[in-house]
Amino acid sequence: MKYYILNRGDQYSQELTQTFKTLARQRGLIWDQEEPDIVVTVGGDGTMLQAFHTFSDQLDRLAFVGIHTGHLGFYADWKPSELHQLVERMSDPDTRLEQHVVKYPIAEVQINRIDESLTYYALNELTLRGIHATLVVQLNVNDQRFETFRGDGICISTPSGSTAYNKSAGGAIIHPSLETIQIAEIASINNKVYRSLGSSMILPKHHHCDLYPKANQKILLSIDHLKFEYDDIISIRAMVGDKKVRFARFRPFPFWNRVKEAFIGDGE
């Protein structure tokens, strides 16, 4: 099995990376930076997002697995003390990667500017915010005008990203077996001029939404950890992507157990 490893960059994560490489070499795993079968991340969810975007052109063939050294590793299945166990699972000759892969939906984001069109995939979310003033944007759903939003911003999340910024914005947590995107308002302003729904919306696969920012408005566009400043966006389209992200689950870790462990814990 071929693997690549990416770490958060702090000393502890770098030390764990070297330990993992040593164990992997001893067990016959092959280091491959170009076309790995598995991408291992050492760090937190931010490290997983970085890995996702680094290999976004190979999502149909590789899988991700995370080792948690951050404060909240929602995507990470393994603890630093379990490196030996993970390497053993990956190097077991009876291991068939496809038998351990789960697939989560992601969001496809199409950005139309005055002079170019761009396409990105988001693992967690797309957010749109005003920089020097409140955001003003027209929201269409399936090519029909739905509302004109004014406020701090809009967050469009995937099911796996529903536990991130979307949750802080009051959105619902969605199980990643459901192929959806969720639109959540960030501090909307409602008056007789601007009136928005005031609650999150969930769109199924094959539906889409379009955002039309007010002309010449300077906005901050974030796609996961990537941030861009634009003042010439014509429209942004978001929908459930035609690709999925693949995670290698070498042991059971049900989604709702992750949610409970991350946000509630074991305390009574």
| Nearest of 254, 243, 204 to residue 104 by alpha carbon | 243
Neighbours of 257 (CB within 10 A): 10
Local structure of residue 78 (DSSP, 8 states): B
Q: Is 179 helix (H, G, I), strand (E, B) or coil?
A: coil
Contact between 253 and 133 under an 8 Å Cβ cutoff? The reply is no
Tokens 């164990």 identify what position? 23
Tokens 């490489």 identify what position? 21
Q: Is 210 a catalytic residue?
A: no
| Nearest of 197, 194, 185, 195 to residue 154 by alpha carbon | 185
Choose the catalytic residue: 45, 77, 210, 224. 45
Using CA of residue 163, residue 252, residue 71, residue 41, what is the dihedral sign? negative
From CA 132, how far away is CA 102, in angstroms rounded?
42
Q: Is 200 helix (H, G, I), strand (E, B) or coil?
A: coil
Phi then psi for residue 188, to 5 deg, are -75, 150
Q: Is 114 helix (H, G, I), strand (E, B) or coil?
A: coil
From CA 261, how far away is CA 253, in angstroms rounded?
11
On the CB side of 93, CA atoms within 13 Å amount to 1
The residues assigned a catalytic role are: 45
